[in-house]
Amino acid sequence: MNIDTNAHGGSLVNCYLDYEDTIAKKQQAKDFASWDLTHRQICDIEMILNGAFSPLDGFMKQSDYQSVLDDMRLQNGVLWSMPITLDVSEDFAKQVQLNDEIALRDDEGVIIAVMQVEDIWQPNKTEEAKKAFGSDDLAHPAVNYLFNQAGDYYLGGKLQGLSEPSHYDFKVLRDTPKSLREKFQNMGWKKVVAFQTRNPMHRAHQELTFRAARQVEANLLIQPVVGMTKPGDIDHFSRVRCYEKIIPQYPEQTTMLSLLPLAMRMGGPREALWHAIIRKNYGCTHFIVGRDHAGPGQDSNGNDFYGPYDAQELMECYKEELGIEMVPFQMMVYVEEKAEYQPIDSVSKDQTVLNISGTEFRRRLAEGLEIPQWFSYPEVVEELRKRYPPRHKQGFSVFFTGLSGSGKSTIANALLNKLMEMDERRITLLDGDLVRKHLSSELGFSKEHRNINILRIGYVASEITKNGGIAICAPIAPYRETRRQVRDLISPEGGFIEIHVATSLELCESRDRKGLYAKARAGIIKEFTGISDPYEAPENPELSIDTADCTPDEAAQRIILKLENLGYIR
Ligand code: PPS
């Protein structure tokens, strides 16, 4: 393969200016209107500038965009399945005019490229969603992005690259289409089959890719996506460490790992076609398309967005034109009697198929349960266990909510001491009064200020939880919606246990330890929770405790049992 030829036979696009032009353009660009690229746009621009999206040499103009939506072709007839557009806010779109040059910056303010604006338009997002992704259901990640994150205006035009988007991680595993082709050429790899993935690879994947390479007598390129994948996926840092562990499982000198800074759209069949074109630009001759390639999962009615082999069927239709050969693969399953993996269609009825679903795999990680060797490699599992430790090694937050004087601080303190006695994780107490002194001293008790206060607590607790510690929070937190936001912030990082200290207002007021209720009744303290300000009781707390019928010791003990029951302590 010619090193400079792109997927369509033309030359591989390289949008970067030479050294002197770059210096001059950077100087001029300081005065241009400037757009801060989103994460997805940074991924797209890197792929345009380095030729991975050849023949694109900029963000699409409306004519190409429309033609891609309608016919899966650029206006000049070249096959291209995914709209690649620069979405901006209405404010920004109104600032620029046709033929203006704009500076496109990364999040540190570095100018990555200059674009001459050749088109400005307001897309019909519903049409785009239906044509590109076959649905306008927000359960589809790309549709959700389109409606909830993408700007309402698109700008199109040619790019001039000034700086490569910077990457500080896994530098030796990153290649441009040109550098990868050079590597293939140096190693004498004439036939290369590429494997696309956004998940950690286990034995089934190793088996599938190895068989695919053997079948077409090609070398193998494992090219995982490290740009943007499906929300909720395992982060690429952990995944890449897993891939590094799997490479030695292939015969020496046959397989290479290279990272792809692509922003996936989870667009199923159209995405498969796009992936193949990209791989051809990287110099591959074959591309593996398995079951449910780039599948987004299910729609809001519980139906799959695409059929499991739709991607293979679409690829088949364009195979002559594509110029990169598809290697279709059935799902690989482990056959117990044979103690080996086989494509599912070759398994007979009397054989036993073993499988561990993604959900089951995560459950086993969370519970610290065994993961059998037939499923994955111990080195890969060990890597994933570091990222997903069992619950009793994860961080968690215990979030108390309740009226002033309900007993939150006392129980929180008892819990703190009991946990310190039995657990080695670091613990931080974020008590209402303490927080107001150290984090929120400028805030009062209006709804707005209370919410700011609670979100600050939530942020600190989420950081503690992420880093494997225990946060005990004990504010009043009177608003349900704000507590939900805190739950959403913390839950992805570890445990979130909400405890409603449900002591009645009458009892809190009769205790009146700080004398605040009397002042509130007398109107001296305004906006006092329960008296002159609302308290919205939690609907589904993990635990509800009324201090009318238990001591602080008993309350803390109930929480310990709850934590044990949930697996966070043992
Ligand atoms: S909030 O709503 O969650 O931000 O409140 P919080 O930060 O937990 O409140 C901490 C303590 O402030 C005292 N205090 C008041 N509470 C409620 N309403 C008003 N207006 C008010 N003014 C002062 C009160 O003692 C809270 O402490 P606790 O420990 O809950 O009694």
Q: Which CATH class is domain 2-161?
A: alpha beta
Determine if ligand 1 sits within 6 Å of the CB of residue 450. Answer: yes
What's the gap in Å between 404 CA and the centre of ligand 1?
Answer: 6
Q: In one letter, which amino acid is 109?
A: G
- Spatial distance between the Cα atoms of 565 and 137, rounded to a whole number of angstroms: 37
Quick check: is 199 catalytic? yes
- Spatial distance between the Cα atoms of 113 and 105, rounded to a whole number of angstroms: 7
- Spatial distance between the Cα atoms of 384 and 388, rounded to a whole number of angstroms: 6
Quick check: is 487 catalytic? no
User: How many CB atoms sit inside 10 A of residue 126's CB?
Assistant: 12
pLDDT in tens, the chain (570 residues): 455 666 556 679 999 999 999 999 999 999 999 999 999 999 999 999 999 999 999 999 999 999 999 999 999 999 999 999 999 999 999 999 999 999 999 999 999 999 999 999 999 999 999 999 999 999 999 999 999 999 999 999 999 999 999 999 999 999 999 999 999 999 999 999 999 999 999 999 999 999 999 999 999 999 999 999 998 889 999 999 999 999 999 999 999 999 999 999 999 999 999 999 999 999 999 999 999 999 999 999 999 999 999 999 999 999 999 999 999 998 899 999 999 999 888 999 999 999 898 889 888 988 889 999 999 999 999 999 998 899 999 999 999 999 999 999 999 999 999 999 999 999 999 998 899 999 999 999 999 999 999 999 999 999 999 999 999 999 999 999 999 999 999 999 999 999 999 999 999 999 998 999 999 999 999 999 999 999 999 999 999 999 998 999 999 999 999 999 999 999
Domain at 391-566, CATH homologous superfamily: P-loop containing nucleotide triphosphate hydrolases (3.40.50.300)
Q: At the topology level of CATH, where does 171-387 sit?
A: Rossmann fold (3.40.50)
- In contact, 537 and 431? CB cutoff 8 Å: no
Please identify, by atom number, the ligand 1 atom nearest to the C-alpha of residue 445: 20
User: How many CB atoms sit inside 10 A of residue 462's CB?
Assistant: 22
| 171-387 matches 2-161 in CATH topology | no
Dihedral angle over CA of 226, 231, 237, 239, nearest 10:
-80
- Spatial distance between the Cα atoms of 483 and 260, rounded to a whole number of angstroms: 38
- In contact, 566 and 546? CB cutoff 8 Å: no
User: 174 forms bridges with which residues in the sheet?
Assistant: 259
Question: Has this prediction a pTM greater than 0.75?
Answer: yes
Determine if ligand 1 sits within 6 Å of the CB of residue 479. Answer: no
Checking 77-81 for CB contacts under 8 A at 24+ apart, the result is: 78/8, 79/8, 79/273, 79/277, 79/318, 79/321, 79/322, 80/56, 80/274, 80/277, 81/267, 81/270, 81/271, 81/273, 81/274, 81/277
Residue partners of 18: CB distance under 8 A and separation at least 6 = none
195: Cα separation from own chain's centroid: 20
Determine if ligand 1 sits within 6 Å of the CB of residue 514. Answer: yes
Determine if ligand 1 sits within 6 Å of the CB of residue 445. Answer: yes
Closest C-alpha residue for ligand 1 atom 20:
528
Cα dihedral across residues 554, 556, 559, 560: positive or negative: negative
- Spatial distance between the Cα atoms of 188 and 286, rounded to a whole number of angstroms: 16
Determine if ligand 1 sits within 6 Å of the CB of residue 536. Answer: no
| Given 199, 413, 428, 451, the catalytic residue | 199
- Spatial distance between the Cα atoms of 19 and 494, rounded to a whole number of angstroms: 48
Ligand 1 pocket mutation, candidates 452, 476, 508, 521, criterion most atoms within 8 A of CB: 476
Determine if ligand 1 sits within 6 Å of the CB of residue 135. Answer: no
Domain ranges across the chain: 2-161, 171-387, 391-566
User: 343 forms bridges with which residues in the sheet?
Assistant: 332
Determine if ligand 1 sits within 6 Å of the CB of residue 405. Answer: yes
Quick check: is 148 catalytic? no
Helices (H) and strands (E) in the chain, counts: 21, 20
Closest C-alpha residue for ligand 1 atom 24:
404
